[in-house]
Structure formats: structure tokens, C-alpha cells
């Protein structure tokens, strides 16, 4: 299993009055961390052919994330269903996990306004990033 990783440098404007990264920022970082998954479904990230939708997500904040130190976002596949899948994402700073999210994504046909089965080659590509624990 190989996790996707994204390194970010927190910006000053992402902090709150206590010097922590604001809790509204990390969901955006997690979305940025999902880009390689989006590319599995839509290699050119063509918005006219977009075929994913977020069905829901839960985030647990484990520790403060601070301005001034690089953050690493890891993204792994936690579950693959027939038309949906779950991603486990974690925010790391200085070796410490500061937040974790589980996001359910659905393979979606916007014209028909319904989910569609995930094609087998895409399932195989997702499985290469599956969490084993």
C-alpha cells in the first residue's frame, strides 16, 4: 500500500487568534490531498467530465496544527464499494498526527443525477492505495 502525500506550508492567514491553523482550513487541505484520487477517475481533471461527488466526511482534530512548520497530508483508500469508496486522510506536523478524516466519495453521473458502478480498472488503481490496518 502506498499513501498519496502532499506537503504544504501553512500560511499566516490560515491561523486563528491562538496561532493554530483554523479548523476550517484543514478540510481544504484534505481536498487538495485528494487530487491524485481525482486523477484516477478523471486524468485531465476535466470539469466538463467530472464524475465524483463527496457524500460526506468526518474530521477528528487530534492536536493543534501550527503556523511556521510544514504539514504533510496523507491519503489512503479505506474501503472500495460498488459505486463508492472511503478515503482516510491524515494531517501530520513534525511527526505528530494533528487531524484525521474519513471521506466517502461516490462515482457519480451528473447528467443522470445518480451513482454509477466504479469500473474494475479504477477499482484496481484504488486498491494499490488501500489501507491494510
Domain with residue 36: its CATH number is 3.10.129.10
Which tens digit of pLDDT belongs to each residue from 82-123?
999 999 999 999 999 999 999 999 999 999 999 999 999 999
How many domains is the chain built from? 1
Q: Report which of 43, 30, 49, 31 is spatially closest to residue 108, judged by C-alpha positions.
A: 49
What residue numbers bound the domain in which 49 lies?
4-127
63 DSSP assignment: S
Domain presence at residue 107 = yes
Q: Is 39 in contact with 49 (CB distance < 8 Å)?
A: no
What is the pTM assigned to this prediction? 0.92
- Is 80 exceeded by the pLDDT of residue 9? yes
Domain presence at residue 23 = yes
Domain presence at residue 69 = yes
Domain presence at residue 133 = no
How many CB atoms are located within 10 Å of the residue 105 CB? Answer: 23
Domain presence at residue 132 = no
Amino acid at each position: 500500500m502506498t499513501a498519496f502525500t502532499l506537503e504544504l506550508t501553512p500560511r499566516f492567514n490560515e491561523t486563528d487568534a491562538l496561532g493554530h491553523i483554523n479548523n476550517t482550513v484543514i478540510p481544504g487541505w484534505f481536498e487538495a490531498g485528494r487530487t491524485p484520487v481525482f486523477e484516477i477517475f478523471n486524468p485531465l481533471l476535466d470539469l466538463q467530465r467530472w464524475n465524483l461527488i463527496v457524500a460526506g466526511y468526518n474530521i477528528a482534530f487530534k492536536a493543534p496544527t501550527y503556523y511556521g512548520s510544514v504539514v504533510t497530508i496523507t491519503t489512503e483508500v479505506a474501503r472500495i464499494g460498488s459505486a463508492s469508496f472511503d478515503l482516510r486522510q491524515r494531517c501530520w506536523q513534525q511527526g505528530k498526527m494533528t487531524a484525521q478524516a474519513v471521506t466517502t466519495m461516490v462515482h457519480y453521473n451528473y447528467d443522470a443525477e445518480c451513482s454509477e458502478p466504479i469500473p474494475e480498472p479504477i477499482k484496481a488503481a484504488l486498491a494499490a492505495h488501500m489501507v491494510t490496518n
